[in-house]
Amino acid sequence: MQITFLGTSSGVPTRSRNVSSVALRLPQRAEVWLLDCGESTQHQLLRSDVRISQINKIFVTHLHGDHIFGLPGLLATCSMAGNVQQMELFGPPGLKSYVDACLKYSETKLAYPLKIHRVEPGTVWEDPEYIVTCAPLTHRVAAFGYRLEQKLRPGRFDIERATALGIPSGPLYGQLKRGETVRLADGTVLDGREFCGDPKPGTKVAYCTDTIYCDNAVTLAQDADVLIHEATFAHQDAEMAYQRLHSTSTMAAQVALQANVKNLIMTHFSPRYAPGNNLQLEDLLKEAQMIFANTRLAHDFMTFEVA
């Protein structure tokens, strides 16, 4: 899985940072899932190497404009391009009304099926490979964090043994890798489970924005490979964070520490920490690293590989 940050500012865009959106690329499935879709997300996609045609799911945290104003334009562009087969949106109450109104009053007719799911705490989507869950965060409006978890992956395929047995490479290898039973041309029956090592844990990514520190964020992020967490404010501006129900850098780090994550990537930064001001984003990074050392600052078009 590869994470690409398409927007890392909060509230409004800046010269160097667009508003919230993150792309998750699932290369083995040739799919892209978006987390939020702020204004100009489709422009950011065009400037990245993420393929718009591969987007088929968008998970929305809440209905503030810096997280949803890019939806109507992106949906329309996908339709006019003609290369999207279907699209599913997941989000809080009101998301369907918002999208329906935008499409109705702009007289936009989509050329693909659009399904809009109203999320509730728990599992919001699942297939044989992935499960996506959500939980409410603490913000001024209904907001949800998401956990995207890959299920157990097959262990290492013993290609040496397969070669020694004269099994031809190709589809049969794929069947054995999946643990399936295979019958060869000579009638030999092989159990794919005997060719694979112990299953490996899948990757886990948690996405928590917008919110002040809350226990549900810790639960969503438990043992995650990557926690993407908002850090709108510096620690010294905690009073503003409490008033506006946003997180400080130290709150994000506390969530990462308590959840035992491997990596924390902070995003959703206030424009007040732009170059030339007393506090810089590097100061927020130092604050967080005092609590959780493996912390990074996101920036637009940054990519992160999740092993």
Tell whether 107 and 188 lie within a shared domain.
no
How far apart are the C-alpha atoms of 196 and 31, rounded to whole Å?
Answer: 26
Q: Which of 132, 167, 195 is the last residue of a domain?
A: 195
pLDDT given at position 22: 98
Q: Which of 135, 170, 195 is the last residue of a domain?
A: 195
How far apart are the C-alpha atoms of 68 and 298, rounded to whole Å?
Answer: 20
**Domain region containing 281:** 2-153+201-305
For all residues of the chain together, what is the average pLDDT? 95
Distance from the first to the final alpha carbon of the chain:
7
Phi and psi at 222, nearest 5°, equal -55, 120
pLDDT given at position 198: 80
Tell whether 239 and 172 lie within a shared domain.
no
CA angle (18 as vertex; 16, 24 as ends), nearest 5: 115
Among residues 66, 210, 225, 300, the one annotated as catalytic is 66
Tell whether 128 and 236 lie within a shared domain.
yes
Q: Which of 173, 195, 217 is the last residue of a domain?
A: 195
Tell whether 207 and 269 lie within a shared domain.
yes
Tell whether 131 and 266 lie within a shared domain.
yes
pLDDT tens digits, one per residue of 241-276: 999 999 999 999 999 999 999 999 999 999 999 888
Tell whether 95 and 24 lie within a shared domain.
yes
pLDDT given at position 242: 97
pLDDT given at position 157: 84
pLDDT given at position 192: 87
Place of tokens 């949803």: 68
pLDDT given at position 252: 98
**Position 302: which residue type?**
M
Residues 6+ apart with CB under 8 A from 33: 23, 24, 26, 55, 56, 57, 58, 59, 148
pLDDT given at position 136: 98
Tell whether 31 and 180 lie within a shared domain.
no
Tell whether 225 and 114 lie within a shared domain.
yes
CATH code, 128: 3.60.15.10
Residues 6+ apart with CB under 8 A from 127: none
Cis-peptide into 210, omega within 30 deg? yes
Tell whether 174 and 287 lie within a shared domain.
no
Q: CA distances (Å), 278 to each of 116, 174, 236, 239, 240, in order?
A: 44, 57, 12, 18, 17
Tell whether 272 and 291 lie within a shared domain.
yes
Tell whether 182 and 60 lie within a shared domain.
no
pLDDT given at position 248: 98
CA 72 distance to own-chain centroid: 20
Low-confidence ranges of the chain (pLDDT < 70): none
How far apart are the C-alpha atoms of 172 and 192, rounded to whole Å?
Answer: 10
Catalytic, 186? Answer no
Domain count, the chain: 2
pLDDT given at position 176: 87
Tell whether 118 and 6 lie within a shared domain.
yes
